[in-house]
Amino acid sequence: QPQRRKVSPSSEMLSLTRSEGLGFTVVTRDSSVHGPGPILVKNILPRGAAVKDGRLQSGDRILEVNGVDITGVGQEELVCLLRSTRQGETVSLGVLRQEDGAKGSVGEGGEGKNRGWKDVE
């Protein structure tokens, strides 16, 4: 059995200025009886604000957008919110990062099942 390391999550506020898109995709873990599951960053695209900024990472959990707590918000609603940002506007993201260096686990058979991913570009 693989051993699981304890991870110490850390949260961070990021500001991304939309240029040629925000430049990342998101995925939702399975919903529970409590509502939609957490929304995670799946991929950082080769173009867009996320790759230019350099701080957003695959596996980061999105907690808030522009000061609004997105707990219980569905993936489609989040994508609409992010896409409503016009070119040149800044989006503030609150993200939670698991500091275990486990990149590449999102959408590749990690814990739980992933729903379809959405391009936020």
Band of the pLDDT at 102, cuts 50, 70, 90?
very low
At residue 37, the pLDDT reads 81
At residue 22, the pLDDT reads 94
Residues in CB range of 93: below 8 A, 6 or more apart: 13, 14, 15, 16, 56, 62, 64, 65
**Number of domains observed in the structure of the chain:** 1
**Does some domain include residue 3?**
no
**Does some domain include residue 112?**
no
**Does some domain include residue 63?**
yes
Can you count the helices (H) and strands (E) in the chain? 2, 7
pLDDT for 64 beyond 70: yes
pLDDT in tens, 77-94: 999 999 988 889 999 999
Residues in CB range of 94: below 8 A, 6 or more apart: 11, 12, 13, 14, 62, 63, 64, 65
Q: Tokens standing for 71?
A: 């707990």
pLDDT in tens, 2-56: 555 444 568 899 999 988 889 999 998 766 666 678 999 999 999 999 999 999 9
The predicted model scores a pTM of: 0.72
CA distances in angstroms from 92 to 33, 50, 111, listed in the order given: 29, 12, 28
CB 24 within 8 A of CB 44: yes
**Does some domain include residue 86?**
yes
**Does some domain include residue 121?**
no
In the numeric block, the tokens 């173009």 are attached to: 47
Band of the pLDDT at 114, cuts 50, 70, 90?
very low
CATH number of domain containing 17: 2.30.42.10
**Does some domain include residue 44?**
yes
In the numeric block, the tokens 């506020």 are attached to: 13
**Does some domain include residue 111?**
no
**Does some domain include residue 99?**
yes
Domain assignment of residue 65, given as a range = 11-103
